[in-house]
């Protein structure tokens, strides 16, 4: 059954939800991972797309996302600042470009961003665009069309807006905004011709069926880059989980996301340290991209060590060409 469905995807077909659930229950998990790897090689080649992020505005968020250290509803030790030193942002982009990272994103906490802060960050993007070849992304919450237009005019090619989880599980973890509001921002960005990066967090208490639901929702939204974060529990946040996901659940999730979204970049994102012991296997289960360097509010990875790891796993780190070119 795994082979049959793999051949269907390789031939350009799409699997159904029913078929994804069959794959989820496949007895031979190694065969599932290796089939997902074949699909990745067929559609994405052996390129590893690396991106990095900078937390440009941290903490004091009015939203109640249960997992998040930046929510005002939680007592955490997260650093709080209104806006990063703009020179630091420019410098970080430059350093990442020099290390061969393909994409760089400024990320801000909050439901959305003020027009004043947006203008300041657009100024930074314009400077980065002039001085480095790195591709630019932004993650600034629920934006309207004109805010996204400003970003695009400043050189931002991709907008990031995680749907976070399955629509059926979203209300369990967020009540201050809806997943439909995220869909709207994603649609605006796509209508403007921006690439969209949207994924979420696994291990928040959702079921494997809900992870499949999330993957199909992303397919319907035609998302080209899907970051998968593994929950890092935060002390002081209101989300309580029974324990970490099993290795098998993590690898099966990567493989299923690849089967369901064969042409998307399936991106290893936050929580990589939690799966360090199976990282080689994760890289051979359908993954084609990774978030490198420090993550939003957790310490990340060393870029040079990551590059070694990816090359050892057979990936090529050469120049990345985006289909969304800077304006």
Two structure tokens written together for 284: 């051979």
Judged by CB, which is closer to ligand SF4: 43, or 73? 73
Residue closer to ligand SF4 (CB basis): 135 or 182 = 182
**Footprint of ligand SF4 on this chain (CB under 6 A)?**
61, 63, 65, 68, 70-71, 109-111
Q: State in angstroms the smallest separation of the CB of 170 from ligand SF4.
A: 12
Q: Which is nearer to ligand SF4, 35 or 106 (CB)?
A: 106
Contact 324, 157 (CB under 8 A): yes
Query: Nearer Cβ to ligand SF4, position 68 or 166?
Result: 68
Rounded to a whole number of angstroms, the minimum distance from the CB of residue 178 to ligand SF4 is 12
Question: Could you give phi then psi for residue 56, rounded to 5 degrees?
Answer: -85, -20
Minimum CB separation of residue 143 from ligand SF4 in Å reads 12
CB of 8 to ligand SF4, least distance (A): 36
| Rounded Cα gap, residues 274 and 307, in angstroms | 19
Name the minimum Å distance from CB 1 to ligand SF4. 38
CB of 84 to ligand SF4, least distance (A): 15
**CA atoms of 89 and 85, how far apart (whole Å):** 7
How far apart (Å, rounded) are the C-alpha atoms in residues 289 and 266? Answer: 6
* Shortest CB 58 distance to ligand SF4, Å: 9
Tokens 């990345």 sit on residue: 320
- What string of H, E and C letters represents the secondary structure of 1-68? CHHHHHHHHHCCCCCCHHHHHHHHCCCCHHHHHHHHHHHHHHHHCCECEEEEEEEEEECCECCCCCCC
Gap between the Cα atoms of 108 and 233, Å rounded? 20
| Residue whose CB is less far from ligand SF4, 142 or 284 | 142
Q: Which is nearer to ligand SF4, 226 or 303 (CB)?
A: 226
* Smallest distance from ligand SF4 to CB 163, Å: 12
- The Cα–Cα gap between 131 and 127 comes to 6
Place of tokens 């360090």: 276
DSSP letter string over 197-212? E--EEE-SS--HHHHH
Q: Give 110 or 300: the residue with its C-beta nearer to ligand SF4.
A: 110
Would you say 104 or 170 has its CB closer to ligand SF4?
A: 170
* Contacts for 109 with CB less than 8 Å, ≥ 6 apart: 55, 57, 58, 59, 60, 61, 70
């Amino acid at each position: 059954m795994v082979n049959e469905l793999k051949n269907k995807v390789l031939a350009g077909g799409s699997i159904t939800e029913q078929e994804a659930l069959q794959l989820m229950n496949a007895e031979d998990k190694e065969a599932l991972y290796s089939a997902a790897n074949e699909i990745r090689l067929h559609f994405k080649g052996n390129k590893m797309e690396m991106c990095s992020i900078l937390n440009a505005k941290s903490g004091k968020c009015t939203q109640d996302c249960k997992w998040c250290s930046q929510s005002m509803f939680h007592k955490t030790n997260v650093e709080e600042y209104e806006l990063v030193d703009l020179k630091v942002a420019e410098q970080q982009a430059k350093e990442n470009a020099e290390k061969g990272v393909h994409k760089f994103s400024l990320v801000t906490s909050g439901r959305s961003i003020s027009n004043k802060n947006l203008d300041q960050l657009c100024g930074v993007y314009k400077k980065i665009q002039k001085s480095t070849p790195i591709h630019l992304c932004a993650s600034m919450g629920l934006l309207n069309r004109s805010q996204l237009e400003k970003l695009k005019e400043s050189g931002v090619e991709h907008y990031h807006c995680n749907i976070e989880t399955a629509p059926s599980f979203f209300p369990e973890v967020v009540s201050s905004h809806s997943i439909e509001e995220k869909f709207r921002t994603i649609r605006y960005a796509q209508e403007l011709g921006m690439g969209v990066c949207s994924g979420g967090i696994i291990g928040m208490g959702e079921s494997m069926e809900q992870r499949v639901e999330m993957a199909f929702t992303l397919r319907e939204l035609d998302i080209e880059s899907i970051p998968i974060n593994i929950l890092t529990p935060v002390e002081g946040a209101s989300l309580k989980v029974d324990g970490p996901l099993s290795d098998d659940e993590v690898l099966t999730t990567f493989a299923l996301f690849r089967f369901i979204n064969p042409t998307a970049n399936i991106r290893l994102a936050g929580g990589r340290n939690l799966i360090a012991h199976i990282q080689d296997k994760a890289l051979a289960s359908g993954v084609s991209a990774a978030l490198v360097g420090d993550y939003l509010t957790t310490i990340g990875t060393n870029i040079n060590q990551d590059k070694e790891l990816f090359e050892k796993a057979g990936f090529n780190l050469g120049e990345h060409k985006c289909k969304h070119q800077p304006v």
